[in-house]
Chain A
Amino acid sequence: AQSVTQPDIHITVSEGASLELRCNYSYGATPYLFWYVQSPGQGLQLLLKYFSGDTLVQGIKGFEAEFKRSQSSFNLRKPSVHWSDAAEYFCAVAGNTGKLIFGQGTTLQVKP
Chain B
Amino acid sequence: DGGITQSPKYLFRKEGQNVTLSCEQNLNHDAMYWYRQDPGQGLRLIYYSQIVNDFQKGDIAEGYSVSREKKESFPLTVTSAQKNPTAFYLCASSGTSYNEQFFGPGTRLTVL
Pick the most buried of A36, A102, A104: most chain B CB atoms within 10 A of its CB: A102
- Taken together as a complex, chains A and B put the C-alpha atoms of A93 and B4 apart, in Å, by 22
Please give the distance in Å from B79's CB to the nearest CB on chain A: 23
Query: Across the interface, do A100 and B42 meet the contact criterion of CB distance under 8 Å?
Result: no
Which residue of the partner chain B has the closest CB to A46? B100
A99 and B48 within 8 A (CB)? yes
Write the chain B residue with the least CB distance to A36: B103
Please tell me which one of the listed residues A32, A43, A90 contacts residue B104 in the complex, with CB atoms under 8 A apart. Answer: A43
Q: Is the CB of A102 within 8 A of B42?
A: yes
The interface residues of chain A, by DSSP majority, are classed as loop
Pick the residue among B94, B98, B99, B103 that contacts A44 (CB under 8 A). Answer: B103
* Interchain nearest-CB distance for B90 vs A (Å): 6
> CA A54 – CA B98 in complex, angstroms?
17
With a cutoff of 8 Å between Cβ atoms, the chain B residues found around residue A70 in the complex are: none
Q: How many residues of A contact B (CB 8 A)?
A: 22
Write the B23-47 contact mask toward A (1 if CB under 8 angstroms, else 0): 0000000010100000011110100
B102 interface residue per 8 A CB criterion = yes
A residues near B108, Cβ cutoff 8 Å: 41
A-chain residues with CB within 8 Å of residue B6 when the two chains form the complex: 43
**Is B100 touching A90 in the complex (CB atoms < 8 A)?**
no
B99 in contact with A43 (CB, 8 Å): no
Known contacts A104-B41, A105-B42: A32-B106 contact under CB 8 Å? no
A-B residue pairs, 6 tightest by C-beta: A94-B99, A43-B103, A44-B103, A104-B42, A43-B105, A102-B43
A-B pairs with beta carbons under 8 Å apart, 30 shown: A9-B40, A32-B100, A34-B100, A36-B103, A41-B88, A41-B108, A42-B105, A43-B6, A43-B105, A44-B43, A44-B90, A44-B92, A44-B103, A45-B103, A46-B100, A46-B102, A49-B100, A51-B98, A94-B99, A98-B31, A98-B48, A98-B50, A98-B94, A98-B99, A99-B33, A99-B48, A102-B42, A104-B40, A104-B41, A104-B42
Interface of B toward A, CB cutoff 8 Å: 4, 6, 31, 33, 40-43, 45, 48, 50, 58, 88, 90, 92, 94, 98-106, 108
